[in-house]
Amino acid sequence: MNTTPPRNVIYYNNAANPISLAGIASLAYTDVILGFLLPDGNGNLTGQAYNSAGGNDAFDPNGNPDPNDIMALQNAGKNVLISLGGATFTTDDWQQYAKDVSGLVQKVAGYVTSNNLNGVDIDYEDDNGFTGGPDGTGVYDGIQFLIDLTNGLARELPGYIITHAPAPGYFNASDIYHNAYTQILAKTGNNISWFNCQYYNNPPYDGTPVGWPLKDGPPPVNPADKVSSYSTIAETTTAPKLLIGTPVGAGAAGSGYLPLDQFTSQVIGPLRQQHPGTFGGVMGWEFSYDQDGTWADGVGLALHQQHVFYVGRDGNVYHAYWDPANGGPVNHDQWTSDGQVGTELATLLAGAQQHVFYVGRDGNVHHAYWDPANGGPVNHELWTSDGQAVSNLATLLAGGQQHVFYVAADGNVHHAYWDPASGIHADQWTSDGQAGTELATLLSG
């Protein structure tokens, strides 16, 4: 499973899209959350089965997703989760499950494993669990319930993804929810993979004035309010674990919607600039409004820059990149200035760091890299010193290690690598002198 941010997450909640569930495999979404796992009236849980009155065509009449659809998405590199809860769950439903959390854990875990899913999303929308009691502390202890549910699922589903979909107000100490999710996060450690924070139907956090709608027409939305709230909550969750949830279409929610171009330029753009290399990404509600995949592709493009490196005629490494989040102009900068670059550029992305390796005119492997965490200047270092490097650089990222392979003057494959615990090392991988061209790397599990 790949859970590296930025993520482009979509909820799949009904049948009103000509693109099937399996059809999402070709779109730019990274994760698909099926909605919803619901009480069946007999004390068990079932998927929201399709029926003529509406429902979800991700599920068969027995409430299970088609295994071929799940496999198609997973083969395309996407995670598939099931969401537990949503607006259909009542206070009575949650209160009953809170009486037997271990039983609920077993039911959810059984559904996840039997349907070969990658995890579960907890969409808890019961304000009464935090505020509904006579003393303002809830008709049951919703905070402890979510702590126990999360930790129980983590024990029962080790290695699986567990996400939550809270309202932004649930993180606010001055709101009526008793800073609920800050308390939950403090007691669940790393068991929550990320938060699909719902910046819709939650004024004023979603940019909509409190009290709207009071007039005809769509409510006004201030993108800056979304950006400000996200950055405040990210101080608690960290940015890589916080996704900004948004309506995919104007009819998907009562408030919080922004057209795609405005959302990418005025929300994604500023958040990427404020959290360089660490922005968690976007959650969209929901797929029926992405009729042709335009939303998936637009958000996917806005989350990623495109980079080109080249050797100039003056013997230096130059860089050109395009960032759709800041309006899309092509930017240029220069990564070396000594004029000693020879041949064979190779790139590597390690987290938010951008790395370029090249063979210098001195016959050594050189390294230039940019790290936004230390202010962003380009750094330089030398990885070999014997002057034997010739051509065909190939890079590989293995955990925290960075690896470079190259053909040396002796016709053999040589290897240099950096280990964060012990620095740069070098060794030789062949000795018959037969290496010519076209190195290629592969990381095997």
Task: State the DSSP H helix or E strand holding residue 262, giving kind and residue range, or none if neither.
Answer: helix 260-263
Q: How much is the pLDDT for 53?
A: 46
| CA atoms in the 13 A half-sphere facing the CB of 394 | 15
Q: What class does CATH assign to 306-428?
A: mainly beta
12-52 pLDDT, tens digit per residue, is 987 677 888 999 999 999 999 999 999 887 878 988 865 43
Residue with tokens 């403090």: 186
Which ranges constitute the DSSP H helices of 116-222? 128-131, 142-156, 180-188
Per-run averaged pLDDT (10 residues), the chain, 445 residues = 88 82 93 92 79 63 91 95 93 92 97 98 93 68 95 98 97 80 95 98 91 67 96 96 97 93 90 89 96 90 87 93 70 92 86 86 92 76 91 86 92 93 94 87 80
- The full set of domain ranges for the chain reads 7-302, 306-428
C-alpha 231/C-alpha 31 separation (Å) is 23
Give the domain 7-302 fold: TIM Barrel (3.20.20)
Are 21 and 69 contacting, i.e. CB atoms less than 8 angstroms apart? yes
Distance CA 272, CA 295 (A): 18
pTM as predicted: 0.77
Give kind and range of the element (H or E) at residue 379.
Answer: strand 378-382
The single-letter DSSP state of residue 236 is H
Supply the DSSP string of 67-136, one letter for each residue: HHHHHHHHHTT-EEEEEEE-TT--HHHHHHHHTTHHHHHHHHHHHHHHTT-SEEEEE---THHHH-STTS
